[in-house]
Structure 1
Amino acid sequence: MAEFPTKYLVLASQRSGSTLLVESLRATGVAGEPEEYFQQLPETGRAPQPRDWFAGVSDPSLLELLPPSQPGAAEPESAVDRRDRILRAGCSPNGVWGGKLMWNQTALLQQWAAELPDRSGSDLRSAIRDVLGDDVLFVHVTRPDVVHQAVSFWRAVQTQTWRAPRERRADTKARYHAGGIAHLLQVLRNQERSWREWFTEAGITPMRVNYRDLAADTTAVVAAVLAALGQDPALAPPPALERQADVRSNSWVERYLVEAMAKGLPV
């Protein structure tokens, strides 16, 4: 194995700061073209749409705030062709590959990896190995304040606005709903627990990135990842994106915490 890994996979949950990290890594020009390469649902060929996150929820006051799902269909592609396409697309000119994987996407990754020839196993670690090889740096991004994370997620699924500042106007259409925030908070907690259990099960010690550190000094965090990849830390740029948290988010967090205490909602 090479002295430094030539591939990395950012492991996270939605609204954890992972996009800030990967876009800042992309901006270096030497850390791949990191995307969520494993998110397309086989029945639509699309990433999960807002209502997909609320399967089984029947509250009409919540569902009316979500846009309708759009139809779609996956393009025919063999598992080998898809693997080869992803490996090409994720590389920067120096040969470093980057990608991002959310826990909800792990089942999709395993599903299509099962069609690859000469499998090394049927578990998640084997799926990653059979797609990317063993030469992979795992970077785990976490956000300790999960209520803030859930509020951000709730705003994003309503408006399908995932980045700032260009789409800020659309984001103002989001409406507060304690039930929506509570549901997504549970989703996020389950994802984070699943990542930690998997690390233990697979014997993996990832490079850990705390959202607070990432937000406070993005350049320093990117420099540390570059160093772990054997790339020049001095290439770490200023943050590639602006933070989306604002006064409105903070007020929703405060409101939710009050309601959670009164109604027994998760925190």
Structure 2
Amino acid sequence: MTSTADSYFVCATPRTGSSLLLGLLESTGVAGRPQAYFREPGEPMWAGRWGLPSTAGYDEYVRAALAAGRTDNGVFGAKLMWGTLDLVVDRLGAVHPGLAGHDVELLERAFGRTRFVYLWRDDVLAQAVSWLRAEQTRLWEADGEAEPGGHAPGYDAAGIEELVERIGEHNAAWERWFASCGVQPHRVRYEDLDADQTGVTRGILAFLGLDLPEGRKIAPSHRRQSDELNAAWIERYSRESARS
């Protein structure tokens, strides 16, 4: 099978299993080393890890990300949340002003043949509860380290409602962007990923024109964070919403 892409982006909203999916894709050894390289708060960390000077331009940052995020076959992967996409194309537009306003062309100028994987979650309430808890604790991965400013989780109906609305807005924004740019992403539902991690990963490889190397195992590198507390918040919110 011949690769149909030089690069791909996993397009998502928070708490859709994107970190799980990135780990599964990296485990194949042929789908890049996808990370959230372009999340603005994390850029100084990546730049420092790559040894970039503080004077480095965005084109240099992108080249360093490509070098770090490619596997030996030359395929690059990364994750984009809604909002991050605008930041990336705005900065690329400053580097390539002749393509400013042409998002896909800008991305392909920087990343080569680019494809998109859209990851979403049917159970938006469970997603919002997971997002709120991560925001409160500043712990985004079960095996990760909490970011500064976290505190013990506490039920917050208004916070859950606000995130349910935000998730809907971001999902709609992704759909509008795909339609306006003529992009046909490979669609992955979180619930399907959760039920069949290997099958979903193989489907993405096929979409990218990649073969899983013989003897290679697709393996997760992240553990589920959801627990009894998430379930209790979901049940309480559903019960209270039914009364109102």
Please give the range of the TM-score, normalised by the shorter of the 2 chains.
0.7 to 0.9
Is 2:238 aligned against 1:257? yes
RMSD: 2.7
Q: Which amino acid aligns with 2:30?
A: V
CA displacement at 1:216 relative to structure 2: 0.6
Residue aligning to 1:131: 110
Tell me the SS of whatever aligns to 1:114: helix
Is 2:145 aligned against 1:164? no
Tell me the SS of whatever aligns to 2:127: helix
Partner Cα separation in structure 2 for residue 112 and residue 41 of structure 1: 15
CA displacement at 1:229 relative to structure 2: 2.5
Is 2:131 aligned against 1:153? yes
Residue aligning to 1:106: 85
> 8 Å contact 2:136–2:151 — kept in the other structure?
no
Partner Cα separation in structure 2 for residue 38 and residue 187 of structure 1: 21
Match of 2:197 among 218, 222, 239: 218
CA displacement at 1:155 relative to structure 2: 0.6
1:53-84 per-position Cα deviation (integer Å, ceiling 9, x unaligned)? xxxxxxxxxxxxxxxxxxxxx94321221221
The alpha-carbon distance between structure 1 residues 86 and 10, as it changes in their structure 2 partners (threshold 3 A), is same
> 8 Å contact 1:106–1:124 — kept in the other structure?
no
1:226-245 per-position Cα deviation (integer Å, ceiling 9, x unaligned)? 22233323635132222212
Partner Cα separation in structure 2 for residue 227 and residue 114 of structure 1: 31
Residue aligning to 1:7: 7
Tell me the SS of whatever aligns to 1:141: strand
1:135-165 per-position Cα deviation (integer Å, ceiling 9, x unaligned)? 1221100101111000000011111111125
Residue aligning to 1:190: 169
Partner Cα separation in structure 1 for residue 58 and residue 98 of structure 2: 12
CA displacement at 1:167 relative to structure 2: 6.0
Q: Which amino acid aligns with 1:261?
A: A
Identity of counterpart residues, as a percentage? 34
Partner Cα separation in structure 1 for residue 123 and residue 197 of structure 2: 18
Structure with greater proportional helix content: 2
> 8 Å contact 2:3–2:210 — kept in the other structure?
no
Q: Which amino acid aligns with 1:39?
A: R
Partner Cα separation in structure 2 for residue 111 and residue 259 of structure 1: 42
In the TM superposition, 1:202-241 aligns within 5 A as 202-233=181-212, 235-241=216-222
Partner Cα separation in structure 1 for residue 64 and residue 151 of structure 2: 37
CA displacement at 1:193 relative to structure 2: 0.4
Count of residue correspondences = 233
CA displacement at 1:96 relative to structure 2: 1.1
Structure 2 unaligned segments of length 5 or more: list them. 47-52
Q: Which amino acid aligns with 1:185?
A: V
Q: TM-score, normalised on structure 1?
A: 0.78
Q: Which amino acid aligns with 1:84?
A: R
Is 2:30 aligned against 1:30? yes
The alpha-carbon distance between structure 1 residues 114 and 120, as it changes in their structure 2 partners (threshold 3 A), is closer
Residue aligning to 1:173: 152
1:26-53 per-position Cα deviation (integer Å, ceiling 9, x unaligned)? 12222111111221159x9589xxxxxx
Q: TM-score, normalised on structure 2?
A: 0.85
Partner Cα separation in structure 1 for residue 68 and residue 135 of structure 2: 27
> 8 Å contact 2:8–2:117 — kept in the other structure?
yes
The alpha-carbon distance between structure 1 residues 253 and 76, as it changes in their structure 2 partners (threshold 3 A), is farther
Match of 2:72 among 72, 75, 93: 93
